[in-house]
Structure 1
Amino acid sequence: MNRAVRRHPLLLALPLTVAVLGATSLVGCTAVAGPGPEQDPALKSFYGQTLKWKDCGDLECARLTVPRDYSHPENGKTFVLPVAKAATADPDRRIGSLVYNPGGPGAGGVDDLKSDNGEAFGTKARARFDIVSFDPRGVGGSKPAVKCAEEDGEGEAEPLYPRTARDRAHALAGARATAAACVKGSGGILRQVGTEDAARDMDVLRAALGDRKLTYLGWSYGTSLGTSYAELFPHRVRALVLDGAVDPSLGWRERAMSQAVGFRRAVDDYADYCADVAGDSCPGRTPDEIADLIDGLYEQTADEPLPVDGDEYGVDARMVLDVVTTAMYGPEDDWEGLSHALSDAADGDGTKLADLASATEPTEPTDEPAPDSRRKARGDSAAPDNSDTAIVAVSCLDTPHPRTAQPYWNALGRADKAAGVYGTSSVTDELTCEDWPAGTQRPHKVRAEGVPPVLVVGTTGDPATPYEEAESLADQFPGGMLLTYEGLGHTAYGRSNACVTDAVDAYLTALKPVRSGATC
């Protein structure tokens, strides 16, 4: 069995910074308007390209060519990025394009748009905009895309809290082996898939779409991409919605802890909801019983995996953690299935937990086309899913990490105290970045002087991007507006209620401001 890529927390996004290039210059660490990059002779061909749209099922698809290295665009090396568009339902009232990123880092926007044809957006937004998304550089159908070479040997389960010298040596060796395999598989492009360059690509896309200014919505990691764009190109922003915010001022340790505490609270919310509402389908009668059952499973499976029908390996503690944390993203979709799986696990059967884990695993990257039935259903062959690799590649590049192991071990005690296994596993997951190609960015407060008012949406019970980060991000933007959704799950627009949809759509279409303290 080949060892899989180490998983960072789902939808993890790490801090960004601003660099000097093309459209902006820095004066006192503040981005200001300067000569546009389209005036640079080396970039002019990229900014002047025409997208050649063709039908791909219910959508239109095209490809965008961008330089791999914006500091040396003349060297001829490029990324070719898939782009998809769901045309406006009302062409006579069209405002322009609404570009979005679904999250990640590592989520491909093209397959996401194919999956629902833009139905995640409100009726008013779909009527006034072409809904557009793309696969960021290195992700999904990007050419080239990041990938990791196969690692030989059978993977040994790693503890969620490596306490002993042996456990720590094993965890560190695994992290370094993953980094080496990804360097071998991806080569030099690992240094070229950071969020700043993806934001520059988005400006090339804006120009190719024919829009003078960008209208953008980013969910989760997409808020990092939007923040970076606002810092690099503040005067080219028409409207930005950042839903499920990532605070760019947090360092690697603070970000890991923020998300770990978010998941710990979300599991408590699940236990409360399950005991109060779900009744007989719940794996316990009280919140404490449910929480104790989950904690007990972590301990039990750390020593011996739960048996699974037809699987000699069973369910280990890491798989239990992945299933539980994944379920926290969508209470309305995932909690019932989690409850049934936990009930069976309490009786010694891990089959349903394994089924839930399999349902969320990415497909192996391949150059083979998807089966005809899938091409027909999706309108085109789906891109390989390299999200596990891309989430590590972008996250490690976007923020500085310690280059020795001791700072990670030093963080474990505090992480355990703050969030239990959710904290210690988050710290251990960061180990891959210890031996990863380093980027040049640093945590910082937002620097986007001249950007128009930005709308930040925060969900009070968000596990992956806790509400406190939305509050902080809204405060960092000049004229930043915070819309609060009082609810559970990850992000709000497209999955919460009409109050959120109406407020976001009014901002996107008419630039209607959201009042201070607005709550849905």
Structure 2
Amino acid sequence: MRKPVVLGALVLSVALLGAAAEGPVLAASPGAGDALDRFRNQTVDWTRCRDASLAASGTECARITVPLDYGQPRGRTIEVAVSRIASTDPVRRRGILLTNPGGPATRGLGLPRDLRTVMGSAVTAAYDVVGMDTRGLGGSTPVDCGLTRSTWLLHAPGPDRAGFEESVRRSRADARSCRERAADLLPHLSTRNVARDVDVVRGALGERRTSWFGQSYGAFLGATYAQMFPGRVDRLVLDSAPDPAEYPFRMVRRQGLANERALDDFAAWVAPRHRTYGLGATPAAVRAGVEAVVERAGDEPIRVGGHRVGDRELPLLFYLLLVHDTADPEFADLLRVLRDAADGKPVTVPAWLQGTLDLVFAGAGTDRAADYAALLAMVCADTAVPRDLDGYWRAVRRSRAAQPVFGPMTHAPFPCAFWAEEPREPRTVIDNGVPALQIQATGDPRTTYRSGLRMHRALRASRLVTVPGRAHTVYASRPNDCVRRTVNTYLVHGTLPARDTVCRDRTVSPRRPAR
């Protein structure tokens, strides 16, 4: 099982007032275009990547200089880290395929390597596949907030007001730490500025246009780029796209109910397998068992894998494992480990679970805490969120009836509620006729199918490929020959399906044995 990313694909999307032309829409000083030319025309020096696994895959790395503030392009500069796996056939090379794995604030230098495992040979011949750590993240000029945890969702409000106040305290502390340590960078780490960085990268690589593959937040970033730079887009693939008008606040809140449905879907799968997993012979019994584990963890944190897991942390752990229905056997194993550990029985923690626990509980000085800082900077630079703490408390309380496991977590106060500065630019409204291929799973618990339909309507020339099942990010993560064939055909030939279509799974998944 692939190790999940703690907040990858969690907070995703934006919206923008006013249509944009090919260039960035800015209140810039006269001559700004000329000033940006020096960035678009810079020389890119490709070298062996420092990361051994990337280097072994044939990935090259480089750093590209961009303005910190596009409104002052002659001012301070920062760097963005990029990666590349070159076309396998220069004769058939079409151009570049820029990519983003989601998040926001998921590191992207390894995505070209990962995508190459599912791309056909014609695609790898047609494109240099390019990855990127977005500004403030990873190998790029980092934002350092000195944070001590991996996400604000790690401490969901408990059953009482004291637990809610603790979540408020932690979110306020995250915001304060960022303000004190990185106030100069924070206002400039927005999705709109990332889209401008993408265009600088395109120019620096000597390309008139770029194709794009983005999943989750990366799908929104691609749509934003197409809105701001429509003439620079060649082929556009959006995998698991959000509603561009709901990022991030309403989107995160909708994930509470979506994950309750995912839990019900899991219960319906595992109940007939009670003799195998012992989690309950009916879906209702399975769900009752899950809620009982959470309640027990509230009475006494469960010791597992060297960590103490309480009722505040369990929702996030469940959230990570329920994202793909093909991981339901692993989720069943997690529940059995938790139940046995709570009973004081010796347990064997599988390597994948140990890795997930270590990732979730990553603390100060870790890559995960650093990536969390970049995520906060991007989300809070993109859009304002409510600051009424009583409103958050009421939402947490209301959520418990229909969302007993995930409601308090997804309705907890955002650190952005305590941010010092409002976003410097208005939200992005996605509304254009750029052709695009969009992939969306019906049971997606992150960017729900309904939210994907709203992106589909906003991209008026897009074609939608629907995938039945519970999944988030399909092309690279879920075995589906139809999806891969459709995407690869579009990238090579530019041929969109004649109409919206459905790609049913033709392969046998670990979740559903062959009959």
User: What one-letter code is carried by the residue in structure 2 that aligns with 1:82?
Assistant: A
Aligned-partner SS, 2:21:
strand
Aligned to 1:172: 168
Aligned to 1:405: 389
Structure 2 vs 1, CA of residues 240 and 409 (structure 1 numbering), >3 Å: closer, same or farther? same
Aligned to 2:87: 88
Aligned-partner SS, 2:157:
coil
Unaligned 5+ segments in structure 1 are: 1-6, 20-28, 368-382
| C-alpha contact (below 8 Å) 2:382/2:427 kept by paired residues | no
Aligned ranges 1:378-457 → 2 under 5 Å? 386-428=370-412, 430-436=413-419, 437-441=421-425, 445-448=429-432, 451-457=433-439
Unaligned 5+ segments in structure 2 are: 50-54, 504-515
Aligned ranges 1:25-424 → 2 under 5 Å? 29-33=18-22, 40-56=33-49, 57=55, 58-75=58-75, 77-113=76-112, 116=114, 118-143=116-141, 145-149=142-146, 158-161=155-158, 163-164=160-161, 166-250=162-246, 252-276=248-272, 280-281=276-277, 283-308=279-304, 311=306, 314-332=308-326, 334-349=327-342, 352=349, 355=354, 357-361=356-360, 386-424=370-408
| C-alpha contact (below 8 Å) 1:283/1:340 kept by paired residues | no
**TM-score normalised by structure 2 residue count:** 0.84
User: What one-letter code is carried by the residue in structure 1 that aligns with 2:16?
Assistant: V
**Which of 172-181 and 342-351 deviates more?**
342-351
The share of aligned pairs that are identical, in percent, is: 30
CA distance in structure 1 between the aligned counterparts of 2:221 and 2:470, rounded to whole angstroms: 24
Write out per-residue CA displacement over residues 246-293 of structure 1, whole angstroms, 9 at most, x where no aligned residue: 111126542123222221111222222223468503533332222111
Aligned-partner SS, 2:185:
helix
CA shift for structure 1 position 101: 0.2
CA distance in structure 1 between the aligned counterparts of 2:164 and 2:380, rounded to whole angstroms: 20
**TM-score normalised by structure 1 residue count:** 0.84
| C-alpha contact (below 8 Å) 2:304/2:338 kept by paired residues | no
Aligned ranges 1:447-486 → 2 under 5 Å? 447-448=431-432, 451-486=433-468
| C-alpha contact (below 8 Å) 2:100/2:111 kept by paired residues | no
CA distance in structure 1 between the aligned counterparts of 2:107 and 2:101, rounded to whole angstroms: 8
Aligned-partner SS, 1:397:
helix
CA distance in structure 2 between the aligned counterparts of 1:519 and 1:492, rounded to whole angstroms: 13
Superposed CA RMSD in Å reads: 2.9
| C-alpha contact (below 8 Å) 2:248/2:379 kept by paired residues | no
CA distance in structure 1 between the aligned counterparts of 2:460 and 2:318, rounded to whole angstroms: 37
CA distance in structure 2 between the aligned counterparts of 1:35 and 1:274, rounded to whole angstroms: 51
Structure 2 vs 1, CA of residues 361 and 140 (structure 1 numbering), >3 Å: closer, same or farther? farther
**Which of 179-188 and 40-49 deviates more?**
179-188
CA shift for structure 1 position 159: 4.9
Number of matched pairs: 477
Write out per-residue CA displacement over residues 55-106 of structure 1, whole angstroms, 9 at most, x where no aligned residue: 332211111111110001111x122111111112222211111111011111
Aligned-partner SS, 1:481:
strand
CA shift for structure 1 position 226: 0.8
CA shift for structure 1 position 112: 3.8
| C-alpha contact (below 8 Å) 1:18/1:232 kept by paired residues | no
Aligned-partner SS, 1:341:
helix
User: What one-letter code is carried by the residue in structure 2 that aligns with 1:347?
Assistant: D
CA shift for structure 1 position 113: 3.8
Aligned-partner SS, 2:498:
coil
CA distance in structure 2 between the aligned counterparts of 1:250 and 1:442, rounded to whole angstroms: 14
| C-alpha contact (below 8 Å) 1:63/1:83 kept by paired residues | yes
Aligned-partner SS, 1:30:
coil
CA distance in structure 1 between the aligned counterparts of 2:262 and 2:382, rounded to whole angstroms: 26
**Which of 206-215 and 390-399 deviates more?**
390-399
Write out per-residue CA displacement over residues 225-246 of structure 1, whole angstroms, 9 at most, x where no aligned residue: 1121111111211111111111
CA shift for structure 1 position 501: 0.7
CA shift for structure 1 position 209: 1.7
| C-alpha contact (below 8 Å) 2:463/2:497 kept by paired residues | yes
CA distance in structure 2 between the aligned counterparts of 1:208 and 1:52, rounded to whole angstroms: 10
CA shift for structure 1 position 42: 1.6
| C-alpha contact (below 8 Å) 1:416/1:423 kept by paired residues | yes
Aligned-partner SS, 2:312:
helix
CA shift for structure 1 position 149: 2.2
CA distance in structure 1 between the aligned counterparts of 2:369 and 2:471, rounded to whole angstroms: 24
**Which of 64-73 and 244-253 deviates more?**
244-253
CA distance in structure 2 between the aligned counterparts of 1:398 and 1:222, rounded to whole angstroms: 14
User: What one-letter code is carried by the residue in structure 2 that aligns with 1:500?
Assistant: V
| C-alpha contact (below 8 Å) 1:161/1:421 kept by paired residues | no
| C-alpha contact (below 8 Å) 1:460/1:467 kept by paired residues | yes
